[in-house]
Amino acid sequence: MASSSSRKRARIDDEDVEVEIESATSSFRQNTHKRSRVAMAQARGGSTVSDEDDDDDEGLDSLVNGFDIDDQVDDAPNHSSEDEDDNDADELKASQIVEKQILKKRGDNVAMECGIIEEVQCKNFMCHGNLRIRLGPLINFIIGHNGSGKSAVLTALQMCLGGKAAATNRGANLKAMIKEGTEQASLGVKIKNRGDAAYKPDLYGDSILVERHFSRTGTSGWKIKNLADKVVSTKRADLDDILDFFAFQLDNPINVLTQDMARQFLSNSTPADKYKFFIQGTQLDVLDADYNVMEENVDSMEAKLRTREEDIAVKRQKAEEAEKRKKRLDASQAIQDKIQKTQRMHAWAQVEEQEAIVTKYSKDVERCQQRIDEVTDAAENISGAYEGHDQAYEAAQRVLREAQAQLEPKEQLYREEKALFDANTSEIAEQKSQERLIKADMNGNKANKKRLDNEITLEQARLAEAEGPEQVERMERLEELKQAAATAEQEELDHRGALPPLEANRKAAAAAAGAAKDPLESKSSELERAQGRLESLKREQQGQKFASFRPNMANLVRAIDSETRWRQKPVGPFGIYVRLLKPEWSSIIEKTFGGMLEAFAVICKEDQVILTAHMNRQKCQAPSFIANPGRFDILRNEPAAQYLTILRALEISNDLVRNTIIINQAPENTALCANGKEAFQLSQARLHGIKVVLAHGGERNTGVRYETTGSKAAKTSPIFAWEGKARMQTDYAAQLRSRQEDVSQLKTELETLRQALQTAERASVVAQHDVNRHQKTERSLRVAKQQAHDAVEEASNEIETSRPQDGKLQEFQRQLENAVADIEATAASFQDLIVEKDKLNDKAKALKQRVEEAQRESDSCVKMIEKAERRKGQLEADRHTALRAKNEALNEIDAAKRNMQEFEDMRDRQQKVLEEDFISEAEKICRRMDLEPGITAATLDKRLEKFIDDYKRAQAEAGGTMEQLTMAWRRAKKELRDILKEQQNTKRLSQSLKNSLTERKYRWRMFLRYIAYRARFTFSYLLSERRFRGRVLMSHEAKTLDISVEPDSTRRSDGGRKTQTLSGGEKSYSTICLLLSIWEAMGSPIRCLDEFDVFMDSVNRSTSMGMMIQAARRSVGRQFVLITPQSMGNVVLGEDVAIHRMSDPERGQTTLV
């Protein structure tokens, strides 16, 4: 077994052997330079060879026997007990190899080209404000007094490269490592990245800079930069890839011994602790954990194999039963043959029925052609009659114009004579007016004379009766009249107060009558529209297929049928492909779909452009959609079957129409519910497949739309009645009955509204009569009041008149004389007026004769014009009748041609259906066959149904159809075969895993033994440099590791002493030897040790220091970072050793952060 941190290097020549065994890890990653040596070893059929010598022919391979972790063994490995028992021979040979390797003079300690820490930076970290240390590529000593921050450098290296704060024992978390008085810190590590084994050199260049920034707020993050200081990544995973690539093991407690770990290992560790350090340092514990997981997986797989045996038995029984059922149904094959023969006959019977339909359409076309010839001949005769009527009409117009030209001068003469007559008549009227005035003056003068005679007589009598009893009676009567006037005035006031309620009642009744007119008019209009829809339905039944659609739709459809450039002919209008199964929902669905029912569907943009051009030419603009011709499967989106949806209320005969309506209207998710309350509850239930619910409204043909918004609030909107014609297809009788019921219902509602209007109008008339009666009574009371006041005034005047006045008699006598003189003057003026009047009457007679003559001539001309106009009107009516007959004849020709075109289209479509849908499908079944006379598809249906029933009974007895039983048999066989194959594969995999696990555990034990050998003999060799003797006491069963050291070389016994009996220096020196021995078994390129010499005296320290430097030089290319508080003055150094002296701690500082 080998990996990135597990490699074997063997070098063998004639004189010595060099072998390096390094620990294996669970990552199984390898560096490029390591892979090259592995490839060489594999090519040679042995273990890894050195880069320095390719000619060695024998080495450690003899011990590991060609060990390779990547080999997969199909058969169980056979490790003989001889390999387990031959420990003494292996141990002797290993000791010889290690001794030769150690004693052999090595070459120069050359630094590696990559995987070396070049620089460590700290800013505000622990006790350092700003520190930068450039490490040497090989051996580094960091020295300084206590508190100078030596250990902080090692902690910074661990933290920057992903270590955990708690593992360093320097702080609980990152925040605890920030320098006191600062808020944030940063660390940086520069890694050498050159040579052939560099990590992504094109991306990072010759160096990789890793920075880690963290603050007291808890934020933390990495920046991985290239040589140009450009950030390449900030991900922890990329940092882990770099660490794995270079095999950095900064979390290995032996690889990086911090101050506390070093003290524990050097002075306080127990044998169990040392064994744990050994296992962790060599990474063998990780491999052991991985193998335990593999073993658990193998056990789980074995348990599944045992469980699956029961499933195999069930599958085998199921396959046998399926085969038995299939064999039982094979006996009913004769019935199946009859079914197939009947199906063949049925296919060609359908063909013959369709051919009969085509023949019928052909005869209809011939009959239409005969009709066209007949109506064409009749149209020619009617056109000739129209030409004659048109010529007669033109002649009558000329006669009328001539008569009208003669009328004007005669009317002018009449007007002139009439003007003279009227002027004379006016003078006569003026004379009569003067005559009346003179007569009036004469009569007035005579009446004045008579009045004055009476006044004189009365005045003379008044003087005689001035103080008599009659005057007292007049005064009493005056008081009675005043009381009567006051009573009449009060009655009028009382009566006037009753007018406002009557007036309000009248206005309310008038308003009610006015309000009743609007519903009546609206209902009357609705009735007219319903009657129009009924008539439209009757016309549609008579052949006007597109009468319900927008104008020119028939012309547009004919143009589409005539066009030949289609990739696929457009489908439309949609309404003719949609059949309504629930007529009671007609208005609501028509209103909901709107213009969609007049739309067309195409399959591509090119067809849509051609269709738009035809719409423009035919002046018939309709919506168009590009649709998918494949039928949509919406079963999973529909609600439960008990809910009626728009889609379930329709039967759509074309997939393009169905797909387009589904996309734009979602009819499968729109439920129909007759009751509004139930519809509201259904919308609130939020059931699967129901997004909208439609219900019937309060008025006929209206509806209500219920939706539920995201906040669960119901959204309600009205659906008004569809006022247009029905565009969807439906059962004619049911639709006709529905339309008739609509008309009947509307008539009933209209009659109800008319009666309500009449009632309101009668109430208005009664209210108006009440007001009129009140006003009439008021006028009577007003007249009575006025009469009472007049009687009071008259009585007062009478009293006033009965009193005599001084000089009044003389005045009346003088006025009488003047009146007599006026009578005489007026008589003279009247005589003169009579003479002038006679003259004007004579002149009027002559003028009247002239006016009457002009009137007779004008009337004669008017009668002539009226006669011409009547003649023209009659001829115009005849001409119009002839024109209408001509147009009707031409329309009848067009209708006959359209009818013939429709029959031709139906014949062609039927022929196409016959050829594409029936003959082609029938030929797929069998060749054409002769049928028995009189046999039909219906007859064959019954025969086929009988055979199928017989076959179903046979299937029921067998448990399914032949296809089902065959499929079940094949499926059961396949399941059995699959589970057997799976069981076999699983067993093979389980055995392979067990073999591999056995081999890997064996090799793991071999690794453990050989690494232990190397550690033992390296430890003995290092002790011998001080003439000590000792050995490593390791028990893998007890998991303990201890050392036995004999400092006195003069003692002949090699039993040695335990570490507890050694002095402090001897103990530290011995433990350092043990650590160096374990390091020799590790593969990390960097090794760190903090304060290793703290318990040594100067002699042991000097010896240990020299020994460590020599050991480091033997580990060619490895980088060492060793921390000590002591000086290095008494140690012999070389060019490969770098000393880094830390500055003394600041004055007053007593503790480290």
588 and 706 assigned to the same domain? yes
Q: What is the 3-state secondary structure (H, E, C) of 829-880?
A: HHHHHHHHHHHHHHHHHHHHHHHHHHHHHHHHHHHHHHHHHHHHHHHHHHHH
How remote is the C-alpha of 1096 from its chain's centroid?
A: 78
Rounded Cα distance, 225 and 233, in Å: 7
Give percent of the chain with pLDDT exceeding 70: 80
Exposure string of 333-344, with b = 16+ CB inside 10 Å and e = fewer, is eebbebbeebeb
Q: Is the pLDDT of residue 107 over 90?
A: no
206 belongs to a structural domain: no
Rounded Cα distance, 680 and 586, in Å: 21
Give just the sign of the alpha carbon dihedral 688, 691, 697, 703: negative
Asked if 1121 and 140 count as a contact pair (C-beta separation under 8 A), the reply is yes
Asked if 659 and 628 count as a contact pair (C-beta separation under 8 A), the reply is yes
- Do the strands 1029-1035 and 256-257 form a parallel or antiparallel pair, or are they unpaired? unpaired
Q: Is the pLDDT of residue 1134 over 60?
A: yes
Comparing CA positions, the residue from 170, 190, 169, 166 lying closest to residue 178 is: 170
Q: Tell me phi and psi for residue 264, to 5 degrees.
A: -65, -45
Own/partner contacts of 551-560, CB < 8 Å, gap of 24 or more, are 551/619, 551/620, 552/618, 552/619, 552/620, 553/598, 553/620, 553/622, 554/898, 555/618, 555/620, 556/614, 556/615, 556/618, 556/620, 556/622, 558/901, 559/614, 559/617, 559/618, 560/600, 560/611, 560/614
The residue ranking higher by pLDDT, 246 or 74, is 246
Q: Is the pLDDT of residue 687 over 70?
A: yes
Give the count of domains, the chain: 2
For the chain, the average pLDDT equals 77
In this predicted structure, what is the pLDDT of residue 211? Answer: 93
794 belongs to a structural domain: no
> Taking the CA of residue 68 as centre, how many other CA atoms within 13 Å lie in the half-sphere pointing to its CB?
14
Domain end, chosen from 691, 723, 755, is at 723
The residue ranking higher by pLDDT, 600 or 1058, is 600
Q: What is the SS3 assignment for 128?
A: strand
Please tell me the least confidently modeled range out of 81-95, 250-264, 542-556: 81-95
Question: What separation, in Å, do the N-terminal and C-terminal C-alpha atoms of the chain show?
Answer: 45
The residue ranking higher by pLDDT, 85 or 697, is 697
Q: Which tens digits make up the pLDDT trace of 480-537?
A: 787 888 887 888 788 777 778 888 888 888 888 788 777 878 778 777 877 777 776 6
689 and 577 assigned to the same domain? yes
536 belongs to a structural domain: no
In this predicted structure, what is the pLDDT of residue 21? Answer: 35
Asked if 418 and 851 count as a contact pair (C-beta separation under 8 A), the reply is yes
Q: Which tens digits make up the pLDDT trace of 323-353?
A: 777 776 665 666 777 777 787 787 788 888 8
352 belongs to a structural domain: yes
In this predicted structure, what is the pLDDT of residue 600? Answer: 94
What's the residue count for the chain? 1153
Asked if 248 and 1084 count as a contact pair (C-beta separation under 8 A), the reply is yes
| 97 band by pLDDT with thresholds 50, 70 and 90 | low
610 and 709 assigned to the same domain? yes
Domain end, chosen from 900, 925, 950, is at 925
Comparing CA positions, the residue from 1093, 1045, 1051 lying closest to residue 1070 is: 1045
Q: Is the pLDDT of residue 684 over 80?
A: yes
Comparing CA positions, the residue from 968, 943, 955, 957 lying closest to residue 333 is: 955
716 and 592 assigned to the same domain? yes
Q: Which tens digits make up the pLDDT trace of 117-129?
A: 999 999 999 889 9
Q: Which tens digits make up the pLDDT trace of 956-976?
A: 766 666 677 778 888 888 888
- Hey, what are 154's tokens? 């090692």
- Rounded to 5°, the CA angle 902-907-911 comes to 145
638 belongs to a structural domain: yes
In this predicted structure, what is the pLDDT of residue 17? Answer: 33
Give just the sign of the alpha carbon dihedral 1053, 1058, 1059, 1061: negative
Rounded Cα distance, 203 and 226, in Å: 7
Q: What is the SS3 assignment for 639?
A: coil
554 and 649 assigned to the same domain? yes
- Do the strands 207-215 and 184-193 form a parallel or antiparallel pair, or are they unpaired? antiparallel
Please tell me the least confidently modeled range out of 96-100, 278-282, 826-830, 901-905: 96-100
422 and 554 assigned to the same domain? no
In this predicted structure, what is the pLDDT of residue 808? Answer: 65
| 601 band by pLDDT with thresholds 50, 70 and 90 | very high
714 and 833 assigned to the same domain? no
In this predicted structure, what is the pLDDT of residue 866? Answer: 81
Identity of the highest mean pLDDT range in 227-236, 331-340, 1129-1138: 227-236
Domain containing residue 399: 334-456+808-853+863-925
Rounded Cα distance, 209 and 479, in Å: 136
Asked if 913 and 354 count as a contact pair (C-beta separation under 8 A), the reply is yes
Identity of the highest mean pLDDT range in 12-26, 219-233, 830-844, 1125-1139: 219-233
Comparing CA positions, the residue from 97, 25, 262, 265 lying closest to residue 1018 is: 97
Asked if 740 and 726 count as a contact pair (C-beta separation under 8 A), the reply is no
Q: Which tens digits make up the pLDDT trace of 2-59?
A: 333 333 333 333 333 333 333 333 333 333 333 333 333 333 333 333 333 333 333 3
Q: What is the pTM of this model?
A: 0.41
338 and 450 assigned to the same domain? yes
Q: Is the pLDDT of residue 842 over 60?
A: yes
Asked if 647 and 668 count as a contact pair (C-beta separation under 8 A), the reply is yes
Domain end, chosen from 689, 723, 757, is at 723
The residue ranking higher by pLDDT, 1099 or 764, is 764
Q: Is the pLDDT of residue 816 over 50?
A: yes
Asked if 152 and 1149 count as a contact pair (C-beta separation under 8 A), the reply is no
Task: For the beta carbon of residue 973, count every other beta carbon within 10 angstroms.
Answer: 16
Q: Is the pLDDT of residue 70 over 80?
A: no
- Rounded to 5°, the CA angle 462-468-474 comes to 85
Using omega within 30 degrees of 0 as the cis cutoff, is the peptide bond preceding 409 cis? no
Asked if 381 and 965 count as a contact pair (C-beta separation under 8 A), the reply is no
815 belongs to a structural domain: yes
In this predicted structure, what is the pLDDT of residue 199? Answer: 92
Please tell me the least confidently modeled range out of 558-562, 876-880, 1047-1051: 1047-1051
Task: Quickly count helices (H) and strands (E) in the chain.
Answer: 26, 23
Asked if 248 and 1086 count as a contact pair (C-beta separation under 8 A), the reply is yes
Distances (CA, A) of 693 to 122, 132, 690: 72, 77, 7
In this predicted structure, what is the pLDDT of residue 1054? Answer: 59
Strand partners, 140: 1121, 1138
126 belongs to a structural domain: no
In this predicted structure, what is the pLDDT of residue 76? Answer: 53
729 belongs to a structural domain: no
| 377 band by pLDDT with thresholds 50, 70 and 90 | confident
The residue ranking higher by pLDDT, 654 or 434, is 654
Give percent of the chain with pLDDT exceeding 90: 8
Q: Which tens digits make up the pLDDT trace of 883-918?
A: 888 888 888 888 888 888 888 888 888 888 878 778
Rounded Cα distance, 656 and 1090, in Å: 83
